Structure 1
């Protein structure tokens, strides 16, 4: 099996797993990943993560021309923006996960550091998550907002919509967005209860030890 075929199968496998665990639903969410020739494989518009066909994934060449498969997700502007501004991005995952969306609607949500510092792994895998304002799904302005971050964040939270995470490869992006949702769930579960978060010194130690992008 070729590297491209393996990647197609992996996209569909991870997508099905995310759907089965309730991290996205219906025909929501989208995934893209770099191919060995510099192009992209992208989940098609209107498709369900449960029933993706590897052969029908949207395929782009290195010049971003659609060369095969079904019509891609309408969220291509946000995918393109991450690839164009983060040279290390090998895959992008966007979900409509419940707890992160709920946290984004809270009136005191922190726009510059969306996730409370409750556990170490979201810090290690995501750095600081930027909360962006609400945009209509598919709006090119989402891409412009991501470009405005100049590649300094690996993850953003679209208010009232869902998280978007860039990773060095598909596995890294999936694992990181799972951490984002789990952290948001923990924040909502403990909201108003005065949980003991990590201290500033503990956060700094994580950032320094694991070389986390943080000061951007």
Structure 2
């Protein structure tokens, strides 16, 4: 049976192998009880060491290991706002980052309901106003948002996804990148979006979030 440390290493290698984490970008974390395992600053997600991860408390206090990614406030904000969140993935994947540089589709979601899998696996994805990487104010704003969501796009920066386990957070990151790729391919041309009844059926069946 694998450990959370091993799972985090495997997830990093998978995302790196898919080309979603260029260079030393991106960071991953998992919550274990009241502790957070997170990738250290400057990590290559394809070359993580299970014994070289950082340990934080839920307030972001550094308990053990190397210096954490400067993006750690994003992770702890997601954990504090939803107690069932067990993993967070932040990437600089190309398509999602490109969409983060565009105006939001709506107040509730940067990305429209283009595919059922986006609605099922990710759900509404607010666009968070720009702040410098690691800005704790941005994380505080995310934590305080009243709407339910599992993912956000950070303006001019990239995606953050979360899940009830690491596999769900990783799958959400991959699905968000895919729907953003489709959105860019369609550009401003004519497109069909899912209707309100179609969205309601999906969110009711899969427990995802979309304010209709």
TM, length-normalised to structure 1: 0.90
Rounded Cα–Cα distance in structure 2 between residues aligned with 1:154 and 1:65: 24
Count matched residues. 212
| 1:141-171 Cα deviation digits (max 9, x unpaired) | 1211111214722111101101111110111
Rounded Cα–Cα distance in structure 1 between residues aligned with 2:109 and 2:60: 32
Q: Equivalent of 1:24, from 14, 21, 32?
A: 21
- Cross-structure match for 1:15: 12
User: In the TM superposition, what is the alpha-carbon distance from 1:93 to its structure 2 partner?
Assistant: 0.6
Q: CA RMSD in A?
A: 1.9
User: In the TM superposition, what is the alpha-carbon distance from 1:182 to its structure 2 partner?
Assistant: 0.6
Report the CA distance shift for 1:125/1:145 in structure 2 as closer, same or farther (over 3 A). same
Q: Equivalent of 1:75, from 71, 74, 77?
A: 71
- Cross-structure match for 1:190: 186
The range that moved more, 85-94 or 149-158, is: 149-158
Report the CA distance shift for 1:111/1:181 in structure 2 as closer, same or farther (over 3 A). farther
User: In the TM superposition, what is the alpha-carbon distance from 1:107 to its structure 2 partner?
Assistant: 3.8
- Cross-structure match for 2:93: 97
User: In the TM superposition, what is the alpha-carbon distance from 1:33 to its structure 2 partner?
Assistant: 0.3
Where structure 1 has 5 or more consecutive residues not aligned to the other structure, the ranges are none
Where structure 2 has 5 or more consecutive residues not aligned to the other structure, the ranges are none
Rounded Cα–Cα distance in structure 1 between residues aligned with 2:138 and 2:58: 22
TM, length-normalised to structure 2: 0.92
**8 Å Cα contact 2:60-2:76 kept in structure 1:** no
